[in-house]
Amino acid sequence: MFNAEAGISDDKWEALTETVFTENASNKYLECYICQEEFNNGNVLKVLGCSHLFHKDCIRPWFDQRDTCPLCRVIVQ
Protein backbone atom coordinates (compact mmCIF):
# COMPACT_ATOMS: atom_id res chain seq x y z
CA MET A 1 0.00 0.00 0.00
CA PHE A 2 1.36 3.39 -0.93
CA ASN A 3 1.38 5.81 1.92
CA ALA A 4 1.63 9.48 0.95
CA GLU A 5 2.82 10.31 4.44
CA ALA A 6 5.80 8.00 4.15
CA GLY A 7 9.37 9.11 3.74
CA ILE A 8 11.61 11.29 5.83
CA SER A 9 11.75 15.06 5.98
CA ASP A 10 14.59 17.05 4.46
CA ASP A 11 15.63 17.97 7.99
CA LYS A 12 16.06 14.33 8.94
CA TRP A 13 17.91 13.64 5.71
CA GLU A 14 20.32 16.51 6.34
CA ALA A 15 20.82 15.37 9.93
CA LEU A 16 21.98 11.91 8.91
CA THR A 17 25.72 11.50 9.21
CA GLU A 18 27.50 11.69 5.91
CA THR A 19 30.92 10.15 5.43
CA VAL A 20 33.38 9.39 2.66
CA PHE A 21 34.32 5.74 2.56
CA THR A 22 37.95 4.84 3.07
CA GLU A 23 38.84 1.23 2.57
CA ASN A 24 40.68 -0.54 5.37
CA ALA A 25 41.08 -4.07 6.68
CA SER A 26 37.95 -4.05 8.82
CA ASN A 27 35.49 -2.67 6.28
CA LYS A 28 36.98 -3.95 3.04
CA TYR A 29 34.06 -6.13 2.00
CA LEU A 30 31.19 -4.00 3.15
CA GLU A 31 28.53 -3.60 0.52
CA CYS A 32 25.53 -1.42 -0.05
CA TYR A 33 22.38 -3.44 0.53
CA ILE A 34 20.46 -1.46 -2.06
CA CYS A 35 22.71 -1.75 -5.12
CA GLN A 36 24.68 -4.77 -3.83
CA GLU A 37 27.98 -3.13 -4.77
CA GLU A 38 30.97 -3.06 -2.48
CA PHE A 39 31.91 0.34 -1.17
CA ASN A 40 34.97 1.86 -2.81
CA ASN A 41 37.38 4.54 -1.71
CA GLY A 42 35.79 7.94 -2.08
CA ASN A 43 32.15 6.79 -2.13
CA VAL A 44 29.87 9.19 -0.26
CA LEU A 45 27.82 7.26 2.29
CA LYS A 46 25.03 7.97 4.73
CA VAL A 47 25.29 6.42 8.18
CA LEU A 48 22.00 5.62 9.89
CA GLY A 49 21.41 5.60 13.63
CA CYS A 50 21.63 1.80 13.57
CA SER A 51 25.18 2.15 12.11
CA HIS A 52 24.22 0.68 8.77
CA LEU A 53 25.86 2.32 5.76
CA PHE A 54 24.48 3.00 2.29
CA HIS A 55 25.57 4.98 -0.73
CA LYS A 56 24.09 8.44 -0.44
CA ASP A 57 22.66 8.21 -3.95
CA CYS A 58 21.09 4.79 -3.24
CA ILE A 59 19.41 5.61 0.06
CA ARG A 60 17.98 8.98 -1.04
CA PRO A 61 15.14 7.57 -3.21
CA TRP A 62 14.48 4.92 -0.55
CA PHE A 63 13.79 7.65 2.00
CA ASP A 64 11.36 9.36 -0.35
CA GLN A 65 8.94 6.53 0.35
CA ARG A 66 10.05 4.99 3.63
CA ASP A 67 11.48 6.04 6.96
CA THR A 68 13.14 2.79 7.97
CA CYS A 69 16.55 1.21 7.50
CA PRO A 70 16.43 -1.18 4.50
CA LEU A 71 18.39 -3.75 6.49
CA CYS A 72 17.07 -3.80 10.03
CA ARG A 73 13.82 -1.80 9.66
CA VAL A 74 14.68 0.53 12.49
CA ILE A 75 12.83 3.81 12.06
CA VAL A 76 15.10 6.75 11.30
CA GLN A 77 14.89 9.32 14.07
Which residues inside 44-73 make contact with Zn ion, applying CB under 5 A? 50, 52, 55, 58, 69, 71-72
35 scored as a contact of Zn ion (CB under 5 A) = yes
HSE toward the beta carbon, residue 49, CA cutoff 13 A: 11
Least separation in angstroms between CB 51 and Zn ion: 7
DSSP letters of 29-66? T-B-TTT-PBP-TT-EEEE-TTS-EEEHHHHHHHHHH-
| Residue selected from 8, 32, 45, 76 as contacting Zn ion according to rule CB under 5 A | 32
Q: Which residues sit at the interface with Zn ion, rule CB under 5 A?
A: 32, 34-35, 50, 52, 55, 58, 69, 71-72
